[in-house]
């Protein structure tokens, strides 16, 4: 296949589309094509003609032909943005009609940082749920890539339903001093690949308790929320403790969150066939407890013999941030007939108030919650002083 004629889909179109933006992402796509599961459509985007020629096995589109004449962006994210803007119609045409669009990009070095926000926005406009998997640059790359990536990430968050970020620095911190440099970069690619396969794989594997696309789409729907993604591969022996620890240490987990309360949780457990009933039940309970969401968890289980003696666990959690959270399905309340005749039935336990509710970011500002934050010398003065200074206000026990 040549790169130019491949913006149309084949008649047997898949429901999931994996989009790679930039060189790093194309590598991951190529690997997924070789090693991954399921019938997934691939689309690659880049400005560099030579880079695209390296991956002749999946369709790709060269952006910004008139602008860059087949060269790379040279580290200029603005160029990447312009290139994506110049071929908007081509991009949306390629992305329309999927049930899930997964975008992959390595931020910080030019094209991906500029083009990915635009492509994400276009994918969002087509109405399909979008998930962006991005890596942010290493600290040693300098301050500019970091600031470029930060800006791009902010824009991507606005466009995508879910953003999974891999801070490369975490991988750097975990690597040993004597590790080879190429190992470091490979391990970054490896994690991105694992994120993609952990996300897309379970949708296609034949499972006993399937996590299908509809479940996944449901989890993505809704108002303002925060997504948590975490995956790990642990040995079968002692998998419960190991998985709980590894899920916690996964580099994709949003940093700075000690404990997450998930309003919606998808746990996908894959095994090579050796997982016992006791271990499975223990593992699923431990994981739902970890995310404090016994009632709203969906547990998926699938078997893939290639895993051997290992267990793969993937967590996909969603925490609603909007204040008026309503449970999707109202809880069934047993009411005596005589009570039903009364005017209204009082809802029991509409929502469990947790200790941390008032400390959510948008609640802290109280009446000013909805107003723009106008920092005064870098301090948000609308936020109560006692909260900023960490002063405890005691209340009488009623």
Partner 1 sequence: MSGKIVAAIEIGSQDVKVLVGEIFEDSNLNIIGRSQVPSAGVAKGRVINFRDASDRVGEALDLAETSAGANIESAYLAVSGSHLEGISHPARTRVRGQDNRVTAADVERVNAEAKGKEIAPERLYIHFIRNHYLLDGRYVENPVGLEGEELGVTYWLLHGNSRSVAEHIHVVNSQNIKVEDVIVSSVASACMVASDEEKKSGCLVIDLGRGTTDYAFYHRGCIVRTGSIPVGGEHVTNDLSVGLRVVRESAEDLKIRHGAATVLEEDKGRTHHLYGDLKIGDKSLYASSINRVIEVRMEELFELIRDECGANELKNGAVNTLLTGGGSRLTRCTELAERVFGVPARFAENPDWVADELRGAEYSTSLGVLHYALQGQTDKRVTPVARRKPEGVVKRFSRLFKA
- Report the interface residues with partner 1, using CB under 8 A: 358, 363-368, 371, 374, 376, 381-382, 384-387, 389, 391, 393-396, 398
Distance of CA 397 to the CA centre of its chain: 42
Query: What is the layout of strands, in order, in the sheet containing 60-62?
Result: 60-62, 41-46, 16-21, 100-106, 130-136, 162-167
Identity of the residue, 339 or 362, whose beta carbon is nearer to partner 1 in the bound complex: 362
Q: With respect to partner 1, which residue has the nearer C-beta, 348 or 372?
A: 372
Q: What does the buried/exposed string (b/e) look like for 161-190 if buried means 16 or more CB atoms within 10 Å of the residue's CB?
A: bbbbbbbbbbbeeeeeeeeeeeeeeebbbe
Whichever of 66 and 353 has its CB closer to partner 1, that residue is: 353
Using only C-alpha atoms, the chain has a radius of gyration, in whole angstroms, of: 23
Q: How far is the CB of 367 from partner 1 (least distance, A)?
A: 5
- Residue 364 near residue 384, CB atoms below 8 Å: yes
Q: How far is the CB of 344 from partner 1 (least distance, A)?
A: 18
Closer to partner 1 by Cβ: residue 340 or 395: 395
Nearest partner of 266 among 318, 302, 310, judged by Cα: 318
Nearest residue (CB) to partner 1, 157 versus 365: 365
CA 300 to each of CA 100, 200, 271: distance values in angstroms, whole numbers, following the listed order: 19, 13, 11
CB of 354 to partner 1, least distance (A): 14
Minimal distance, residue 336 CB to partner 1, in Å: 24
CB of 390 to partner 1, least distance (A): 10
Angle at the Cα of 265 from the Cα atoms of 154 and 106, rounded to 5 degrees: 30
Q: Name the residue nearer to partner 1 (CB basis): 330 or 396.
A: 396
As measured in angstroms, the least distance from the Cβ of 373 to partner 1 is 11
In the complex, minimum distance from the CB of residue 339 to partner 1, in angstroms, rounded to a whole number: 21
The nearer residue to partner 1, 140 or 376, going by C-beta atoms, is: 376
Query: Given the complex with partner 1, which of 181 and 371 has the nearer CB atom?
Result: 371
CA dihedral 157, 158, 162, 165 (to 10 degrees): -10
Distance CA 369, CA 383 (A): 9
Give me the least distance between CB of 385 and partner 1, in Å please: 4
> Cα separation of 333 and 346, whole Å?
10
CB of 398 to partner 1, least distance (A): 6
Q: Which is nearer to partner 1, 176 or 396 (CB)?
A: 396
């Amino acid at each position: 296949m040549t790169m130019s004629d491949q913006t149309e889909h084949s008649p047997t179109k898949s429901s999931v589309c994996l989009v790679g933006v930039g060189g790093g992402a194309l590598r991951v796509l190529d690997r997924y094509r070789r090693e991954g599961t399921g019938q997934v459509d691939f689309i690659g985007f880049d400005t560099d003609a030579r880079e695209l020629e390296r991956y002749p096995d999946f369709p790709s589109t060269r952006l910004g032909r008139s602008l860059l004449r087949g060269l790379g962006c040279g580290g200029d994210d603005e160029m990447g943005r312009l290139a994506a803007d110049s071929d908007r119609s081509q991009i949306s045409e390629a992305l329309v009609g999927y049930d899930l669009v997964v975008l992959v990009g390595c931020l910080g070095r030019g094209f991906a940082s500029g083009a990915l926000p635009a492509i994400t926005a276009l994918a969002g406009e087509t109405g399909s749920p979008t998930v962006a998997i991005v890596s942010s640059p290493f600290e040693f790359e300098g301050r500019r890539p970091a600031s470029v990536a930060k800006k791009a990430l902010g824009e991507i968050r606005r466009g995508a339903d879910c953003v999974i970020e891999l801070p490369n620095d975490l991988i750097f911190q975990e690597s040993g001093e004597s590790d080879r440099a190429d190992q470091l970069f490979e391990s970054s690619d490896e994690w991105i690949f694992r994120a993609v396969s952990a996300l897309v794989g379970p949708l296609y594997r034949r499972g006993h308790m399937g996590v299908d696309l509809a479940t996944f789409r449901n989890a993505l729907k809704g108002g303002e929320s925060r997504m948590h993604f975490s995956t790990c591969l642990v040995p079968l022996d002692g998998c419960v403790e190991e998985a709980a620890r590894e899920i916690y240490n996964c580099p994709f987990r949003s940093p700075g969150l000690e404990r997450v309360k998930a309003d919606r949780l998808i746990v996908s457990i894959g095994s090579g066939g050796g997982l016992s009933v006791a271990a499975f039940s223990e593992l699923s309970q431990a994981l739902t407890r970890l995310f404090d969401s016994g009632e709203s968890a969906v547990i998926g289980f699938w078997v893939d013999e290639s895993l051997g003696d290992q267990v793969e666990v993937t967590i996909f959690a969603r925490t609603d941030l909007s204040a008026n959270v309503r449970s999707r399905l109202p809880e069934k309340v047993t009411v005596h007939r005589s009570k039903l005749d009364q005017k209204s039935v009082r809802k029991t336990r509409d929502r469990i108030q947790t200790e941390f509710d008032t400390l959510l970011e948008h609640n802290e500002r109280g009446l000013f919650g909805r107003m723009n934050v106008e920092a005064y010398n870098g301090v948000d003065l609308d936020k109560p002083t006692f909260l900023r200074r960490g002063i405890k206000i005691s209340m009488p026990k009623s």
